[in-house]
Amino acid sequence: MLFLGADLSLNSSGLVIINESATIISQFLLTPPSGSRGVERLYFLEQSLIEFLNANNIIYCCIESPAFGSEQGHLFDLGEWAGIFKLQLFKKGIEFIFAAPNQLKKYASGNATSKKDTIMLDIYKNYNIEIRQNDLADAYILSRICRDYHTEENADLRAYQKDVISSLKKKYKQTSLLQ
């Protein structure tokens, strides 16, 4: 089974795939050409995503939900990209969930208000994996959340990680994951 973590952004979307043993299978940055905007940028992102999904046999995905204050003025554009992303997952039959930014931070460090830059350090300290790009670091944590959400091998999780998984399971208990 392959698990995808996706940190969506209009400028640099991080995608990380791990397998059941949490080994990184693939990591990729979707980075539109400099100066591209609007429909041109969305088209590039969509075509790159389709190519990425076709090259990998992903079953599940965890997407970081938007941090509503961070894109200031670009929330509508980011929503268009998120819609395209979800539509492509739906077309491929890939189930997905959303994790809030504070859930991602809590899962990585135990602190829901930790700074974005500390995620890379937490990954190195907790998993001995060196990732030097913020979007890929977030996507890696999201892929681990995805894996732990869908597998029963949670014995090695810390209490704060179990709390994040439990919270997500409660949220998605009554709903279809292909939404």
**What's the pLDDT tens digit per position in 135-176?**
999 999 999 999 999 997 777 899 999 999 999 999 998 555
Burial class from Cβ neighbours inside 10 Å (0-12, 13-18, 19+) for residue 82 reads middle
DSSP category for residue 71 = S
| 8 A C-beta contact, residue 30 and residue 47 | no
| 8 A C-beta contact, residue 18 and residue 24 | yes
The model's pLDDT over 84-128, given as tens digits with 9 standing for 90+, comes to: 999 999 999 999 999 999 999 999 999 998 887 899 999 999 999
The model's pLDDT over 16-31, given as tens digits with 9 standing for 90+, comes to: 999 999 999 999 999 9
Which CATH number is associated with domain 3-172? Answer: 3.30.420.10
pTM for the structure as a whole: 0.92
